[in-house]
Structure 1
Amino acid sequence: MNNTHLHLVVNHLPIIFPVAGLVLLIIGIFTKTEVSKRNAYFIFILGALASVAAMATGEGAEEGVENLPGVAERLIKTHEEAAEFFAGLSYVLGGISIAALFMSFKNYTFSKIMPFIIGVLGLIALFFAQKAGTTGGEIRHTEIRSDASVQNLDGKTSELGGDHDNN
């Protein structure tokens, strides 16, 4: 398994964990079960740890794809910036979740508001997770690029879609 493959294996986890955490957190809020909220906090912490793994493998993945045909440096740079911002939010979400977990076990009064704070932060993080995921996918998946152009093996750029002669 090379660095690029390893990055592809771990890079989905920082996105999946917050989705699962938000679902569990919403269940905990509506059912008023502290166990569900605590499990959600734990999942957000796992998401932050998964972000560490994704970021740690990103540089090696970049080196593995930067010279491949059809891969533009600007796409890698855009993804790198989006991923760094999302990772930062994920770290903050994980850190606040650690505090919320502690407050929940200690039964602090402030722990009653923490699910809502974490829920909002989780939604914000997911918005940026989508940006990081999409920009990462655009590196190799030409069909999802917003400019809909691809670089052919001969170095020429062509447009996807539109009118093409099929002769």
Structure 2
Amino acid sequence: MNGAHLHLLLNHTPILGSLFGLLLLLVAVVRRQEVLINAGLITLIVAALLTIPTQLTGEGAEEVVEDRPGVTHALIHEHEAAAELSLWAMEATGALALVSLLARRRSAARAPLFTYLTLAGAVVSFGLLARTGNLGAQIMHPEVRPDFRAPTKSRAGDAE
């Protein structure tokens, strides 16, 4: 297993974890179900923690793919910059989720505020992580690049 393989094994976890935590927390807040709110907050904390190893394996993945045909340093740099921003946003969301969880356990007056802030952070984090994932896919998958043009198949009888 090389650095790229390890990164590929991990990279969907923060995206899907933040989406699941966001949706769970949103439904829980709308329904005002404390148990589900806590589950959503814990999910976002776990997603934030899993974002760290995903970020740390990015450098090893870069070393594996950087000299491959079609891979440009511009694509890698754009993905790296997006990943760093996503990391900080997700870690802030995870910290807010932890503060919210602790405030809820203490029945603090500001607990709902922290929960709403966490929900807003989860929306931002998921959006940034999804963008980062898309940029990462563009590194090795030219078919997802905005400027991609599929090669046309020549039909039998067409002049080549």
TM-score by length of structure 2 reads 0.92
Correspondence 1:1-167 to 2 at 5 A:
1-148=1-148, 160-161=149-150, 164=152, 166=154, 167=160
Deviates more, 1:127-136 or 1:111-120: 111-120
**What are the Cα deviations for residues 90-113 of structure 1, in whole angstroms up to 9, with x where unaligned?**
000011111111101111010122
Residue identity in the other structure for 1:47: A
Inter-partner Cα distance in structure 2 for 1:137 and 1:13: 15
Q: What is the RMSD computed on CA atoms of the aligned residues?
A: 1.3
Displacement of 1:30: 1.8
SS at match of 2:150: coil
Letter in 2 for 1:30: V
Deviation at 1:165, TM superposition (A): 6.8
Task: Show structure 1 runs of 4+ deviating over 3 A.
Answer: none
TM-score (norm 1): 0.88
User: Hey, what's the Cα distance between the residues in 1 that align with 2:130 and 2:87?
Assistant: 12
SS at match of 1:136: helix
> Structure 1 unaligned runs (5+)?
149-159
